[in-house]
Amino acid sequence: MPDNTEHQGRIALVTGGGRGFGKAFGEALSARGAHVVLADIDGDAAAEAAAELTAKGRGATAVACDVADEEQVGAVLREIADRHGGLDLLVNNAGLHAAYNRPFTELGLAAVRRVLDVNVMGTIICTMAARDAMKDREGACVVNISSSAAYANRSIYGVSKLAVRGLTMSFAREFAGDGIRVNAIAPGLIFTDAVREQLSPAEAERVLGEQILHRQGQERDIVEALLYLVSSKASFVTGETLRVTGGFALSV
């Protein structure tokens, strides 16, 4: 049975926390006792997600924040440190996704820069800003969200998620002396409502055909991976990227 008090009293910052994986991560962590700070460029979405949690009697706050904006991120971390005394868990989930998984020449330089600003620089900015607030706190850890696309590298999206894998290893080495573990999750195709709306049946079948496990990936698969990486069970795990792809990543 899961320990529903494992994160009691801990403080978690989830970027991109207003919807999708970020919202699901906030739900799962708060259910286990954490106070979650949901940061999203869409402040209204973050506020709505936080309100759903507080209505259940859980600890949650929302903040509007662009992870590519160093000043905004710094302000969020200072507020967390002032209000809560520090930070235990950072989930670097905010990112640009499906619309950017196209050839460089189709996207153009402006879109390419934006992907790198959010997916790569956003991860760097948030992780560096969080270091002091997380230093020497027992069980402190960072989880970055990469992608199975990092193993194919067919677009700037895949390249950006490959960079996230590299950042995970680099920050793990750099932060180990501060007692901070740093890991990543590389999701495969996860059939969220948004994916079902955007993905053609033919493309869905193509991806499923490249998986070893022939079932659709579910949001809970990624949530369970996160809960493992932030738990005491993973206390000897750092610098790793956990692939949750149904075996898709083995084929590329």
CATH of the domain at 96: 3.40.50.720
Is residue 27 included in any domain, yes or no?
yes
Is residue 234 included in any domain, yes or no?
yes
CB 83 within 8 A of CB 77: no
Helices assigned H by DSSP within the chain: 20-31, 43-54, 70-84, 104-107, 109-115, 122-134, 156-175, 193-198, 201-210, 219-229
Is residue 67 included in any domain, yes or no?
yes
Given phi > 0 = left and psi -120 to 50 = alpha, else beta, which region is 214? beta
Number of independent structural domains in the chain? 1
Q: What is the DSSP letter of 38?
A: E
Is residue 4 included in any domain, yes or no?
no
* pTM of the shown model: 0.94
Q: Output the pLDDT for position 101.
A: 77
Distances (CA, A) of 220 to 4, 21, 23, 202, 234: 16, 9, 12, 24, 18
Nearest CA among 87, 78, 92 for reference residue 39: 92
Q: What is the DSSP letter of 249?
A: G
Given phi > 0 = left and psi -120 to 50 = alpha, else beta, which region is 153? left
Residue pointed to by tokens 């009293």: 9
Is residue 36 included in any domain, yes or no?
yes
Is residue 3 included in any domain, yes or no?
no
CB atoms within 10 A of CB 209: 10
Is residue 171 included in any domain, yes or no?
yes
One pLDDT digit (tens) per residue for the chain, 252 residues: 355 789 999 999 999 999 999 999 999 999 999 999 999 999 999 999 999 999 999 999 999 999 999 999 999 999 999 999 999 999 999 999 877 778 888 889 999 999 999 999 999 999 999 999 999 999 999 999 999 999 887 899 999 999 999 999 999 999 999 999 999 999 998 988 777 777 788 888 888 888 999 899 999 999 999 999 999 999 999 999 999 999 987 765
Q: Output the pLDDT for position 204.
A: 82
Q: Output the pLDDT for position 252.
A: 56
Is residue 247 included in any domain, yes or no?
no
Which domain covers residue 206, as residue numbers? 11-239
Check the CA dihedral 15-126-224-232 and report its sign: negative
Task: State the catalytic residues.
Answer: 157
